[in-house]
Amino acid sequence: MAISQEVDQFRNYDQGDAIAAVRENYRKMRTNQTVEYVQRMRTKYLTYDRPMDLWDAMASLNDLVDVSDPDLDLPNVQHLIQSAEAIRSDNRPDWMQLVGLIHDLGKVMYLWGSDEDGTSQNEQWGTVGDVFVVGCRLPDTCVYPEFNDLNADMHDTRYNTELGMYAPGCGIDNTLLAWGHDEYLFQVLSNHKTNLIPEEGMVMIRYHSFYPWHTGGSYQQLTSDRDDQYKEWILDFNRYDLYTKSQKIFDLDEVRPYYEPIAKKYLGEGPIFF
Ligand SMILES: [Fe+2]
Ligand SMILES: [Fe+2]
């Protein structure tokens, strides 16, 4: 894999000018993402009534820079192409190359999002950032754990214990994660009739931002045996999500002829209903 910078230069949340914006995004995310909020966003956004051509959706990410990312200040579509190209250059399966290309596509939510939901261009705390389980105690493995106490659920006895509203070992598929682009795209593709992306790929899409679990090692009280397999898949994918970020600029129209047949193979020809 083409690693563009030293590994320890990534995900450093304590340095640089851009960090104030990253930190502020996390403060708002931790404050506002409660059980009630997540349920409300699922009802509001999982309507599957906005048909969009895959490539138009990709192009729309030319106008979005992820404010939670301390490592990259390029439009998000560049990150998607960089990830896909690294997976391709490692000769990984075609479906995984496609997953690299589209894994952040749920960020198109900004096109119909709002400031008050944290789903707009200006307010991204409901779209991007590492996610956590809502409905049980926030772990110290969250970035900026000092913000955990700002979450109203952490002062609600239904939700502020190790298990909160969950049964032991229920499995992460049965938890409610903070609302964001991972779950949005996962649900959109699950609802897409001609989706043939294999289970590994769907898991990579759904949980790639779940750092307190896949990298922090938290939530052992909730995970099941199946989640160990999930974690293997996600960590395999995660190297390409994280360590391929660079200033190298690609042109979507130039890479499209290579990826288009793969997209057709796994997603079919019609629009995707967001
Ligand atoms: Fe992402
Ligand atoms: Fe990503």
Contact 132, 177 (CB under 8 A): yes
Domain assignment of residue 2, yes or no: no
Domain assignment of residue 194, yes or no: yes
Q: For residue 244, what pLDDT is reported?
A: 80
Domain assignment of residue 236, yes or no: yes
Q: How far is the CA of 80 from the centre of ligand 2 (A)?
A: 7
Q: For residue 1, what pLDDT is reported?
A: 56
Structure tokens that stand for 5 in this block: 């910078």
Domain count, the chain: 1
Domain that holds residue 240: 7-273
Q: How far is the CA of 241 from the centre of ligand 2 (A)?
A: 5
Sequence-separated (6 or more) residues with CB below 8 Å from residue 215: 141, 235, 238
Q: For residue 66, what pLDDT is reported?
A: 86
Q: For residue 65, what pLDDT is reported?
A: 87
Q: How far is the CA of 157 from the centre of ligand 1 (A)?
A: 31
Q: For residue 14, what pLDDT is reported?
A: 72
pLDDT < 50: residue spans in the chain? 2-4
What beta strand segments (E) does the chain contain?
51-52, 133-134, 176-177, 272-273
Stated pTM of the model: 0.94
Domain assignment of residue 125, yes or no: yes
Domain assignment of residue 1, yes or no: no
Cα torsion at 227, 233, 235, 238 (round to 10°)?
-130
Q: How far is the CA of 162 from the centre of ligand 1 (A)?
A: 26
Contact 24, 82 (CB under 8 A): no
Q: For residue 8, what pLDDT is reported?
A: 65
Structure tokens that stand for 19 in this block: 């960090």
Domain assignment of residue 88, yes or no: yes
Q: How far is the CA of 181 from the centre of ligand 2 (A)?
A: 10
- What are phi and psi for residue 51, nearest 5 degrees? -70, 135
Q: For residue 17, what pLDDT is reported?
A: 65
Q: For residue 6, what pLDDT is reported?
A: 57
Q: How far is the CA of 126 from the centre of ligand 2 (A)?
A: 15
Q: How far is the CA of 104 from the centre of ligand 2 (A)?
A: 5
